[in-house]
Structure 1
Amino acid sequence: MKDKVFITGASGFIGYHLVKTALEAGMEVHAAVRPTSDLAFLKKLKSNTGKPGTDEAGSEDLVFVNTDFGSKESLKELLEKGGYTYIIHAAGVTKAKTAEAYNLVNADYSLNLAIAAMSADIPLRRFVFLSSLAAIGPLAYAEEQPITEATLPIPVTEYGKSKLLAETYLRDVSGLPLTIIRPTAVYGPGEKDLFVLFKTLNSGLDAYIGKRPQRLSFVYVKDLVAATMAAMVRDQEEITVYNISDGQSYDRYALADRFREISGKNVFRAHLPTVLVELTAGFLDFIYSFSSVTPVLNREKLKELTASNWICSIDAARTNLQYQPQYDLRQGLTETLTWYKENKWL
């Protein structure tokens, strides 16, 4: 009998890679998706779970389920029908107009799922919540101690605050076998936010906000997924929390430098005045206030982009999960850029 895992946010960047890895591990995966979700890449996985050398769908290995996170009763029925051994909650929003919108999806919906999981008659071993290092917030540039799981949380964005609120809610659900994963900036095939930067670099422009130094961290999606899967299957009773990065510290130019080395492109490096970018972000927020779309550059995102220090310790994951990152920034970017080119994104 295969273990069954329920993965939310399955049609998203990280969710897709979680689904793919769980299938490769021989698990039965039920992917929570919305009626409006783009399932193109997931459907390719579905066809690959059939008979070798055919396009026959392996429906027993990958099942799509529509989920109403606003209803605890509906969630309970869905979970009991699935009989899940594991839940990985990767669904959430990274862009929203208001704090209330962030909190509804990232915190309230997470709480609904957790309550439903504890009230449902299922053999649940572990509930893994994909949080974010933004829930803790950045450090001062001169801080020598990296962000740890015990660092006092001082999130600087509404997104980070909503993730911290979700963590607090989940910790308070009695008996929930909870693991919290806090990744730093995640990149890899299919990612769309950092991809905007790659497109800019590909056009020949390497732009920065101000000239203040920064200490940054990154994690390749395959490493994040490996850590998440290890945390999911680890036999443990207590609530556990893991910060995840590739274990390296990078200066603010590292991403562009690696891009240039890998692509062979010449780029023009420019430093834009912070005040100018702040005014632009404010203007975009105003313009898009009349739209359902949130701009890529906004005052909320600017707080994260200009933060001085996002370095985190991964000692807990190394010790408890035997997590050993397989990709540094150069290795991960090489695979990522190859994927973007092969799929005609670049």
Structure 2
Amino acid sequence: MSQPKLLITGASGFVGCHLVHAAKEAGFSIHATIRHSSKIEDISHLVDTFVEVDFSDVEKLTHWLAEESYMYIIHAAALTKAKRESDMVLVNVDYTINLLKAAFSIPKPPLRVHILSSLAAVGPLSYDNGWIDESSAYQPVTVYGRSKMRMEQLVKEQFSDKPIRIFRPTAVYGPKDKDIFILLRTLDKGIDAYIGRNPQTLSFIFVKDLANLLIQSLKTPLTKLDFYHVSDGNVYDRYQLANIFKKITQKRMWRVHVPYAVVKQVARVSEWLYKSSPKTPVLYTERLNEITAGSWACSIEKAEKELHFEPRYNLEAGLTESLLWYKKHHWL
């Protein structure tokens, strides 16, 4: 019996790499889209075929997808940072819609398409104001979140009758992650810093749990567009990540609260320093809306009920495995 054929976009990225590993374990034949600059050393032995694709050309996409006849598609390619909002929209919105147009215009369309969105598309709540679920209204607070929201809105308008699942994970962490790693590196230096003193509720998802959910649920029947929120099912206060880090590493920490006004000024200076650079700074004014939000508490009841999602990692288990990986690979 031949292996079911799966296309993964963004396969060389942080989540994409883990998707490839999970897909190989599940017995899929994997095709992966990459860019010319993609680093594929960690997945080259797992991927059957690498493809460089122009997502701006619907006609070429259609011809290619018709020729390959993929049974499943997971679209994980995205921009999380960009100097211009137009670049974010091009990749996160236009390219996604182009891929779907092509995929569902061929004689034998895929049985299922999974799209990796983000809880940022919905946005946070104020502190102690319930949990974010699939019925929550859109209120994104960043360019990235707005781009994901717009993508979702267009998918609803144009493909609501197609077998598409859109997943909205909360903060994703794990081996190879570079975003939450910045915080871990700061903690490793003994600095436990916070912006202001307002309370927060946070949620996280270990990358392996996310990858396994996206892969395993490919075989769960689906007839029309649906949405699922993804976290480890727990809610954490703003200090728990640092407390767990301290427990694991036994490091002494210096906890400091920096006034919001001071951090905002630092963010403005960072933006000015990076204005001529193609890169974006780690801290910028709009990101403060995200990292100081009152609540990112996220309900996964729907995914548990309909997709039988059972996260294996809470924050302590996930951080323990992540820190071992960072130490082994000399990131810390």
Specify the TM-score bucket, using the shorter chain as the normaliser: over 0.9
Partner of 2:267: 281
CA–CA separation in structure 2 for the residues paired with 1:261 and 1:142: 27
1:322 to 301, 308, 313: 308
Give the TM-score normalised by structure 2: 0.97
2:299 to 289, 302, 313: 313
Partner of 1:217: 203
Give the partner amino acid of 1:159.
Answer: Y
CA–CA separation in structure 1 for the residues paired with 2:220 and 2:266: 46
Contact 2:54/2:61 (<8 A) preserved: yes
Partner of 2:125: 139
1:107 to 86, 93, 98: 93
Shift of residue 227, structure 1, vs aligned partner: 1.7
Give the partner amino acid of 1:21.
Answer: A
Residue 302 of structure 2 aligns to a residue whose secondary structure is helix
Tell me how many residue pairs correspond in the alignment. Answer: 330
Contact 1:80/1:121 (<8 A) preserved: yes
Give the partner amino acid of 2:15.
Answer: I
Contact 2:103/2:109 (<8 A) preserved: no
**1:252 aligns to 2:241 (yes or no):** no
**1:154 aligns to 2:139 (yes or no):** yes
**1:198 aligns to 2:184 (yes or no):** yes
Give me the CA root mean square deviation: 1.2
CA–CA separation in structure 2 for the residues paired with 1:64 and 1:216: 37
Give the TM-score normalised by structure 1: 0.93
Shift of residue 123, structure 1, vs aligned partner: 4.2
Instruction: For CA contacts below 8 A with separation 6 or more, give which structure has more relative contact order.
Output: 2
Alpha-carbon displacement from aligned partner over 1:6-38 (angstroms, at most 9, x marks no partner): 101101000000011101111001111100111
**1:163 aligns to 2:148 (yes or no):** yes
Contact 1:179/1:231 (<8 A) preserved: no
Alpha-carbon displacement from aligned partner over 1:36-60 (angstroms, at most 9, x marks no partner): 11112122xx1xx5xxxxxxxxxxx
Residue 242 of structure 1 aligns to a residue whose secondary structure is strand
Give the partner amino acid of 1:13.
Answer: F
Give the partner amino acid of 1:89.
Answer: H
CA–CA separation in structure 2 for the residues paired with 1:36 and 1:122: 32
CA–CA separation in structure 1 for the residues paired with 2:307 and 2:168: 14
CA–CA separation in structure 1 for the residues paired with 2:25 and 2:97: 29
CA–CA separation in structure 2 for the residues paired with 1:343 and 1:77: 41
Alpha-carbon displacement from aligned partner over 1:86-131 (angstroms, at most 9, x marks no partner): 1101010111122222111111110011101112333411111100
CA–CA separation in structure 2 for the residues paired with 1:32 and 1:203: 37
User: Unaligned regions of 5+ residues in structure 1, if any?
Assistant: 50-60
Alpha-carbon displacement from aligned partner over 1:145-176 (angstroms, at most 9, x marks no partner): 21010111111111111001111112223443
Shift of residue 220, structure 1, vs aligned partner: 0.4
Give the partner amino acid of 1:242.
Answer: Y
Contact 1:85/1:126 (<8 A) preserved: yes
Give the partner amino acid of 1:163.
Answer: K
Contact 2:164/2:222 (<8 A) preserved: no
Residue 41 of structure 1 aligns to a residue whose secondary structure is coil
Contact 1:79/1:122 (<8 A) preserved: no
Residue 158 of structure 2 aligns to a residue whose secondary structure is coil
Contact 1:227/1:317 (<8 A) preserved: no
CA–CA separation in structure 1 for the residues paired with 2:38 and 2:108: 27
Contact 1:156/1:303 (<8 A) preserved: yes
Shift of residue 73, structure 1, vs aligned partner: 1.4
Residue 243 of structure 1 aligns to a residue whose secondary structure is strand
Residue 172 of structure 1 aligns to a residue whose secondary structure is helix
Does 76-85 or 3-12 show the bigger shift? 76-85
2:251 to 262, 265, 270: 265
After TM superposition, where is structure 1 displaced by more than 6 Å over at least 4 residues in a row?
A: none
CA–CA separation in structure 2 for the residues paired with 1:230 and 1:322: 10
Give the partner amino acid of 1:228.
Answer: L
Equivalent residue runs for 1:62-101 within 5 Å: 62-101=48-87
CA–CA separation in structure 1 for the residues paired with 2:275 and 2:41: 30
Partner of 1:3: 4
Partner of 1:57: none
Contact 1:182/1:243 (<8 A) preserved: yes
CA–CA separation in structure 2 for the residues paired with 1:108 and 1:231: 26
Alignment identity in percent?
45
User: Unaligned regions of 5+ residues in structure 2, if any?
Assistant: none
CA–CA separation in structure 1 for the residues paired with 2:108 and 2:329: 40
Give the partner amino acid of 1:229.
Answer: I
Partner of 2:322: 336
